[in-house]
Amino acid sequence: MLSNRETAPGHFHMVLGLPVPIADPVPGQFVMVRMPDRLDPLLARPLGIYGFSRQAGEARLELLYRVAGKGTALLSGLSTGRVLQVLGPLGRGFRIVPELRTVILVAGGIGIAPLTFLAEHYRGLPAVVEGREIVCYVGARCSEALVGLERMEALCSRVVVTTDDGTCGACGIVTEPLGLDLPSFRPGATVIYACGPGAMLRCLADMLRESPVPCQVSVEERMACGLGACLGCAVAIRSGENALSYVRVCKEGPVFDIHELDWK
């Protein structure tokens, strides 16, 4: 580990140097992280990819995480030089649509992590369309839980901030300003990407039910293997008029079309 810095209360930015060859990750993919010298917790924890680069032959992986329980609390206490086990990149990431002019990102809390990597990826794409704009709607509980804002602001044409308690940006939930702007997005020229708490994604699914604008969401589920073997991360998707089937978030996801998932 190269660094592990607290950037806001309970939120950490970790940079890892990877000594073994690793494929370039697609934004939206994740890694399973584990402390090799500990049996408790035994299972690795899934974390989205916040950044990835190659410097002097060494791959650098960035993670942005919130302390949620035992595993992430232990990670937060680690200092430079510690060795971690990292498995990845895993899952299916966001589908990139270079020819679209407007890219909308909707981030709830720590959901900003994979969307930042996605914004960076879009910024690096050759200019297939002129004047591509990336607009990000960021929501958090309060100003202290707004992480990664500066980096996102540097990548986007516009960032709209909301907090539940009004301590930064507009007071309210992040889907409110998005809902107001939605009619102004040209359907054939816009794509929405979202990552955040289930309640935010459910609200977004409701709001976009009749909208022609496509939306991809990255969902979070508890994971054990991260490889598609244990079926512990299954979620329901619609597979017909009234029929449901199950897919594994770690293998078929974590990114899905918002209308494919069963939000009930």
Ligand X SMILES: Cc1cc2nc3c(=O)[nH]c(=O)nc-3n(C[C@H](O)[C@H](O)[C@H](O)COP(=O)(O)OP(=O)(O)OC[C@H]3O[C@@H](n4cnc5c(N)ncnc54)[C@H](O)[C@@H]3O)c2cc1C
123, amino acid identity: R
| Partner whose footprint covers residue 248, from ligand FES, ligand X, none (CB < 5 to 8 Å by kind) | ligand FES
- Does residue 110 bind ligand X (CB under 6 A)? yes
C-alpha closest to that of 89 among 241, 214, 254:
254
Give CA separation, 176 vs 15, 183, 191, in Å.
Answer: 34, 13, 18
| Partner whose footprint covers residue 231, from ligand X, ligand FES, none (CB < 5 to 8 Å by kind) | ligand FES
Phi-psi group of 82: left, alpha or beta (phi > 0 → left; psi -120 to 50 → alpha; rest → beta): beta
- Does residue 221 bind ligand X (CB under 6 A)? yes
Question: Of 40-48, 77-85, 168-176, 184-192, which segment contacts ligand X by CB under 6 A?
Answer: 40-48
Query: In this chain, which of 254, 255, 258, 261 binds ligand X, going by CB under 6 A?
Result: 254
Scanning residues 201 to 240, which ones bind ligand FES (CB under 6 A)? 223-226, 228-233
- Does residue 65 bind ligand X (CB under 6 A)? yes
Query: In this chain, which of 19, 21, 36, 69 binds ligand X, going by CB under 6 A?
Result: 69
State the DSSP H helix or E strand holding residue 55, giving kind and residue range, or none if neither: strand 51-55
| Partner whose footprint covers residue 117, from ligand FES, ligand X, none (CB < 5 to 8 Å by kind) | none
CA 102 – CA 201 distance, rounded (Å): 20
CB contact set of 146 (below 8 Å; sequence gap of 6+): 8, 138, 140, 161, 163, 168
- Does residue 47 bind ligand X (CB under 6 A)? yes
1, amino acid identity: M
Please name the residue that has the structure tokens 């914004």. 119
CA 161 – CA 250 distance, rounded (Å): 30
177 vs 228 by CB, closer to ligand FES: 228
Closest distance between ligand X and the C-beta of residue 208, in Å?
21
- Does residue 52 bind ligand X (CB under 6 A)? no
List residues binding ligand FES (CB under 6 A): 223-226, 228-233, 248, 250
List residues binding ligand X (CB under 6 A): 30, 41, 45-48, 64-66, 68-72, 110, 113, 220-223, 254
